[in-house]
Structure 1
Amino acid sequence: MDEIEVPQYFICPISLQIMKDPVTAITGITYDRESIEQWIFANKNTTCPVSKQPLPRDSDLTPNHTLRRLIQAWCTQNASLGIVRIPTPKPPLNKIQVLKLLKDLNNHKSLMQLELLAAENERNKKCLLEAGVPKAMIMFIVNSHEKGQIQKGLEEALSILQFVKIPKEECALLLKDNDQILDSLTWVLSQDEMENTIAMKSHAVIVLKKLINKCDTCHILERLKPEFFERILKILRHGVTQQGVSAALEVFLRSCSVTRNRIMMVEAGLVHELIEIELGNTEKRITELTLAILFHLCSCANGRAKFLRHEGSIAVVTERILKVSAAVDDRAVFVLSMVAKFCGTNVALQEMLTVGTVTKLCVLLQADCAKYLKDKAREILKDHSEVWKNSPCFPPSSFGAYVKY
């Protein structure tokens, strides 16, 4: 097959493979449909990859039937040489087909079909969005909640909401018009008798993240209830996918912008759970999220008290400095600063010395990092120099050099 010369105009400029469904963009360039839709919709590019001319997301892609027939004929002629025959592509999904499926949501097969369509390609996702599928799926979930039963098809409805991107404006309207959406998703998180429990709860928390991340105001966040945080915390403790863990942490972080939410999170036991997660974590994004949340929770007295109650808290935060990212360095130093400033008992300060916090802050002063961060580290060292300067790890003259402005 390597010796067969494929006509150049059969090759997609993006994938560099033989085109299965050639379409021509408004710029006059022909691509394989899957590749150019990925380029436009998934990657959010607005220029033609070949001509570099503007290529709006709502521009038409015209099927090139003549070229497709030529490619199919050529593949058939060369099938004996190992060339795979290319079938005629299915007609694009249209809104009428989707609306027909939406009318029959009580039929589990309709939801399964919608899920398959959503997973198939970007063109289908766009069509599902235009037909109002996200709102229909949300109402299906709300209806399950109102009935108090796990309806067949709930997993598919949650899965579809992950695939189909809900525009910010529509998301805001959905949340504004229906107070039951968050309650319904929280209810899903509380159900332990479902099939595929881990997958279902992961889907639910990912949908929660998508909805909450698109809230421009605190209106939605201000009406969250204690059980909302308790149930998300519960799934972190008892099993969820890695994607679900990340989504749950993003929900917590977004909710931290409201003071009452931070108090509820602390009371639910989130500080302890974050430290437990971080003690066994190796993922950069998870560390950035946990440290960012800890920063917010340690801004209140109860949060700092809970932080110090965990034997590994100071050690794990210290260990992450200069090892993960600049964002983690920032949050870690400020967490330690708040703890040292407001909870700087002799026990806490001695622990910072024992687990290497003081040493790490000294190293930070000589590292390639932002000046404000070095100033904050120097401030911590200076404020507690009377306790730390007598340590055998730091000769008086050496320690004095670190805290000197």
Structure 2
Amino acid sequence: MEEEAQVEVPCYFVCPISLHMMRDPVTLPTGMTYDRDGIERWLLTAGTCPLTKQPVPADCDPTPNHTLRRLIQSWGAAHGLVQRVATPPPKPPITDVASLVSRIGGAASNNFTQELLAALRELRGVVASEESQRSCRNDDAACAAVDTLVGVFITASASATTSTSSVAVCDEVLEIISSSDKCLLAARVIMETNTNEAAVDALVSALRRSNTASRAHAALLLRNVTAVMPTSSLASLPEQVFGEVVRLIRDKQQVSRAATTKAALHVLVGTTPWDRNRVKAVDAGAVPALVDMLLDLDGPERRACELALGALGRLCGCAEGRAALVAHGAAVAAVASKALRVSDVATDKAVRVLRSVARHAATAAVVQEMAHTGVPGTLCVVAQSEQYGDRTRERARETLRLHARAWRSSPCLQHKHLHAAAHVVMYPC
């Protein structure tokens, strides 16, 4: 520090966090550059870029800024500060992934748990490195590796309830295949090897455990598996799947909550076109969980809101789902509050839910509640606005016509222009 104080260091060589000359400059996805030590310490607690305040993914690996490092080294050499600049450590040699996978398969076959764990941990380190990303681009080799890992995961899950070492094996495998490309590949392998039911059971077991990181990885893999499962398997998922999906939606302490919640919502939307799955989801408490989520959502969480409304629309396709919706004291208000305020997609899905309730579950109390929460006014705006699609506008008109007499005197329709629009919609010539 005394050496730096005697020489004026160019500002672009100074780390914005430590305010000292950078030794190992790295760049975040936000485009900002910091000293590696400083930014890694910062991200452990903050999770945002210090300068831009933009969120930084928890698994972000800052990119080395070699050009800036060379400039700092050249400048430091000219001013006698060479020792102040660190040279990044040499990269580890490329490990043969195929040999590691072979070791994993052999250890699993012979039930050598400790050797299996050691090989899995070594593979995890290799997969995380830049070299492995290049070495794993061979699709056939990657499929073979993932096939072995999926088999190990399913086998270990069978004894995970009684063996802590089996739990550790499952956690390691989920960590390895948690990246998006490997997760998609694992789903494809599961489908092609016809291990759907066994894989789903193993993932449910992982979701039931307390390891939050593994639960997050299992949720992402379950999303991808259900996305490629054949209809025959998808239409008869076990009840436990829906129980764990609802638990994920309600869990506010989970790792990578936004991504995990969206994965759970995708599973719910993708598995409930069939009545038997709808009933299972309703019995698991999906409707109040989704309504509570809508009430909690605030700010730029557009996609999560759209998925939650989409899931509610699916569940309102059965009588049990509609009954659960109207039984929730704030459900109608929660759905109506997202129309016109989030996105066109959210408005369309909210109108679908409101139409379903108005057509099939509209008791006098429900109709009155819809009037008090401003539903008629919202539907009038949608019906008259060319911003929305023809089908969405027609659904809004249909819903208004269903209860025209009850809503004609609604306080939200008292503005003369809105009232005139409502009259046109409710009583077309």
Relative to structure 1, the CA distance from residue 229 to residue 76 in structure 2 (aligned partners, 3 Å threshold; closer, same or farther) is same
Question: Is residue 2:263 matched to residue 1:244?
Answer: no
Is this contact kept in 1: 2:219–2:263, CA < 8 A? Answer: yes
Question: Is residue 2:66 matched to residue 1:80?
Answer: no
1:4-403 pair list within 5 angstroms? 80=77, 85=87, 89-99=91-101, 101-102=103-104, 103-104=106-107, 106-107=113-114, 108-121=117-130, 122-126=133-137, 130-131=141-142, 132-147=144-159, 148-149=161-162, 150=164, 151=166, 152-163=168-179, 164-167=182-185, 169-174=188-193, 176-177=194-195, 179-191=197-209, 194=210, 197-215=211-229, 217-238=230-251, 239-241=253-255, 242=257, 243-282=259-298, 283-367=301-385, 368-395=387-414, 398=420, 399-403=422-426
The residue type paired with residue 281 of structure 1 is L
Unaligned 5+ segments in structure 2 are: 1-8, 13-30, 34-65
Is this contact kept in 1: 2:100–2:119, CA < 8 A? Answer: no
Relative to structure 1, the CA distance from residue 376 to residue 281 in structure 2 (aligned partners, 3 Å threshold; closer, same or farther) is same
CA distance in 2, matches of 1:213, 1:99: 27
Relative to structure 1, the CA distance from residue 277 to residue 77 in structure 2 (aligned partners, 3 Å threshold; closer, same or farther) is closer
CA distance in 1, matches of 2:152, 2:101: 15
Is this contact kept in 1: 2:212–2:254, CA < 8 A? Answer: yes
Is this contact kept in 1: 2:236–2:276, CA < 8 A? Answer: no
The residue type paired with residue 161 of structure 1 is I
Cα drift, residue 265 of structure 1: 0.7
Relative to structure 1, the CA distance from residue 229 to residue 74 in structure 2 (aligned partners, 3 Å threshold; closer, same or farther) is closer
- Secondary structure of the structure 1 residue equivalent to 2:362: coil
Is this contact kept in 1: 2:97–2:123, CA < 8 A? Answer: no
- Secondary structure of the structure 2 residue equivalent to 1:369: coil
Normalized against structure 1, the TM-score is what? 0.73
Deviations 1:75-96 (A, max 9, x none): 9877625776466654444344
The residue type paired with residue 214 of structure 2 is M
CA distance in 2, matches of 1:311, 1:86: 59
The residue type paired with residue 340 of structure 1 is A
Unaligned 5+ segments in structure 1 are: 5-14, 18-67
The residue type paired with residue 120 of structure 1 is S
Is this contact kept in 2: 1:117–1:124, CA < 8 A? Answer: no
Relative to structure 1, the CA distance from residue 183 to residue 392 in structure 2 (aligned partners, 3 Å threshold; closer, same or farther) is closer
C-alpha RMSD of the superposition: 3.3
Is this contact kept in 2: 1:95–1:128, CA < 8 A? Answer: no
1:9 alignment partner in structure 2: none
- Count of residues in correspondence between the two structures: 338
Q: Percent identity?
A: 24
Cα drift, residue 170 of structure 1: 2.5
Relative to structure 1, the CA distance from residue 190 to residue 3 in structure 2 (aligned partners, 3 Å threshold; closer, same or farther) is closer
Is this contact kept in 1: 2:374–2:412, CA < 8 A? Answer: no
Cα drift, residue 189 of structure 1: 2.0
CA distance in 1, matches of 2:196, 2:317: 33
CA distance in 2, matches of 1:78, 1:179: 62
- Secondary structure of the structure 1 residue equivalent to 2:323: helix
CA distance in 2, matches of 1:361, 1:323: 13
Relative to structure 1, the CA distance from residue 379 to residue 123 in structure 2 (aligned partners, 3 Å threshold; closer, same or farther) is same
Relative to structure 1, the CA distance from residue 79 to residue 109 in structure 2 (aligned partners, 3 Å threshold; closer, same or farther) is farther
Is this contact kept in 2: 1:94–1:127, CA < 8 A? Answer: no
Q: Comparing 376-385 with 305-314, which one deviates more in the overlay?
A: 376-385
CA distance in 1, matches of 2:400, 2:313: 19
Cα drift, residue 119 of structure 1: 2.5
Relative to structure 1, the CA distance from residue 281 to residue 391 in structure 2 (aligned partners, 3 Å threshold; closer, same or farther) is closer
